[in-house]
Structure 1
């Protein structure tokens, strides 16, 4: 049997109100692959997921889901997809158990088969004790786990997540993504949109979308490669610091209260630099590319700088 990507997007375009929303997108995703889709608001991310979920029909190109032509046979493609969108698809008045049993029946599971599958998911996602609880009484993280269970009832090879962890606290987000990584390890292909750098870093690949077109596609490290990292030294006299650094061959620029030194490996360079410099350092920031920096670089879009976390640094003696 010939090998095929589990998601295969071939020259897909989509227009709305005479405007191109998705433009000639080519994207292939394999089984057991986690791919992050990033871009500014309006880049076309949610529209692309809607096309994959057969909720919209492309105006050009082809989409194959697990080898099925999703444009010609949307029902067959839909049976191979689980979706978690930003907006909840749960019935709030029903319990977690009844929500899952309902979707199981819609997907053709009956009787004991449906109950076994639902019980399995409740166990895997640590929802056993909450099975009888109305969804409206669950926390945000618990609801998201029920949403994920709902998407997995039919064991779909493809999982689409649109900002699925949005609004979750740190613990709930960690638990949610732990489950996603387990699913990927089990062979599911996951495509997710995100505005979180941490979620993008942990993906196998990051796809940058801009005005509906793919601008970059690769591992996080390779996308960050062309973007310079730096050490920001907070000092009492920026002019003195910059002159000293420049005289010793460092690429440096001045900011209001800091000298910014460009380097390829700031974490490795910082200790040596602090030992060498003769002036007082009040603190140091390690500046590495963040998600907005990556998007800005690959799309050519200006970005607003956000202050990095301050790292304590001992003043050089």
Structure 2
């Protein structure tokens, strides 16, 4: 099936990251997408744990196709020094996820568990199907410590380990691999112009209002990624203060007119509840360490 999906080359230096985020958001919508065409329902049953129509193997194939296009784009940052720094944070988190059982037998050898850099000054990070996580250079520049950056990676890794994309599709029962791939193709093509309006035009017809060019997980999934991510952060040996500090920094930024510099805030909106829970977890961790 994977060979039947042809992707338009990504635009150079022109808004593909926001377009891709919008495409992935399409995977997460439940009620606003139209039912897939009849031909799109004839997907092989893979026998994976989340969904017969969007199992582990299917999700990885989709992720691989997206990554093949991303690696061809000039904004894919192949910087050995920065990649080594990112890996020094990422690998302990992946190891902690394995030891805690967040990475199970279905995904441990079948997902990529790969982190990569995007040459963009905006503050953002995003999870893709199949175990890929992208990090903008702007996010790295914003963080004051490795603990803060690790907290974002832990959160995004938790979106992957909990298979939030596949779970959303399964819950909606109105989406399939082919319709998801078609949406990604269309939004990436619209990204050629570098215009958010062009990307929104592709996903019009009841979807633009819900997607708005951003990757929006549900509130419950954000809270789950916070909770599990905090466990990964501390389990990997990072300071538990990293997540609360990052939330506070992002919360301060959200009070300003960022003019598009903080897409992470739109794709992962902060709430007083999430910030309060992060501070409560930090307080509990400090009390345990003080005993």
TM-score by length of 1: 0.23
Q: Which has the higher strand share?
A: 1
Higher RCO (CA < 8 A, seq sep 6+): 2
Q: TM-score w.r.t. structure 2 length?
A: 0.24
Q: Which has the higher helix share?
A: 2
Question: Which of these two proteins has the greater Rg computed from alpha carbons?
Answer: 1
